[in-house]
């Protein structure tokens, strides 16, 4: 086994815990109504997390489902390396940026 194959396997296997974590977070927000994971900034939810729960649920659910779809397409159809790494990488970065933006928006203090 060469180093490229090892890295490919590490990246593929890394998709499993990431998608599980994001889908679990969506489950906790949507079904269990646990708002402690909504729009976090420095690990703390905003003062009114219910207001941003739908957005956080959507971000986590979509990102988790995209990664789960990528995993299934790799296993079932043998999706090409360039394709699945592009989709997975883009999804991870977009999810991080979306969570960052939501967290900053939710914690913004508006002057009246």
Judged against a pLDDT cut of 90, whether residue 43 lies above it is answered with no
Local structure of residue 44 (DSSP, 8 states):
B
Neighbour tally for 7: CB within 10 Å: 10
Q: What digits encode the pLDDT tens for the residues 80-104? A: 999 999 999 999 999 999 999 999 9
Averaged pLDDT score across all residues of the chain: 94
pTM of the entire predicted model:
0.91
- State the Cα torsion 6-64-34-37 to the nearest 10°: 60
- Residue 34 to residues 98, 99, 106, 107: CA-CA distances in angstroms? 20, 17, 16, 18
């Amino acid at each position: 086994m060469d180093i490229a194959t090892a890295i490919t396997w590490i990246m593929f296997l890394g998709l499993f815990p990431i998608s599980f974590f994001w889908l679990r977070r969506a489950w906790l927000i949507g079904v269990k109504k646990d708002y402690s994971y909504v729009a976090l900034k420095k690990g703390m939810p905003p003062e009114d997390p219910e207001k941003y729960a739908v957005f956080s649920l959507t971000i986590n659910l979509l990102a988790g489902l995209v990664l789960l779809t990528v995993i299934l397409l790799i296993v079932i159809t043998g999706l090409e390396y360039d394709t699945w790494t592009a989709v997975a990488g883009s999804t991870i970065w977009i999810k991080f940026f979306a969570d960052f933006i939501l967290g900053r928006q939710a914690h913004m203090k508006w002057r009246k």
